[in-house]
Structure 1
Amino acid sequence: MRKRFEYKTVIIEPKGFWGTKYDPAEIDKVLNEHGNEGWELVTAESRDYCGTFYGVIYTFKREL
């Protein structure tokens, strides 16, 4: 039987007045919560448009 997976996408956006601040502890908290639920981080990709940064898209998977 072939393995089957489900996927989940989470976007973490920067905070602050200009949207440039990240809290590494908060990112770790979010990633660890998903890891504790059995999700494995597959990729992380920055969201930007015309040189402006809008956050990071995290894609997770877990086996069904």
Structure 2
Amino acid sequence: MKRFEYKTIEIKPKGTWSWKFDIVEIDKILNDMGSQGWELVTKESLDTGGTSYSFHLTFKREI
């Protein structure tokens, strides 16, 4: 039987009053997680009034 572990991280916009996300930083996080054997399984956008204020990325890897 396969077994998995899961990890969720939060991605926040850069700056205090900005809703812009740093794409280069997100790619760095995704590539780092992938090199450690983690596979992205879901992304949840946390938003208010149509504006995303953060994302939760959930990864899994076999143990």
Relative to the length of structure 2, the TM-score reads: 0.88
Q: Structure 2 stretches of 5 or more lacking a match? A: none
Q: Structure 1 stretches of 5 or more lacking a match? A: none
The answer to whether 1:47 aligns with 2:46 is yes
* Cα distance in 2 for residues equivalent to 1:54 and 1:14: 7
How many pairs are equivalent? 62
The answer to whether 1:13 aligns with 2:12 is yes
Instruction: Tell me the residue number matched to 1:29.
Output: 28
**Identical aligned residues as a percent:** 61
Quote the RMSD (CA, aligned, Å): 1.2
Q: What residue identity is the alignment partner of 1:18?
A: W
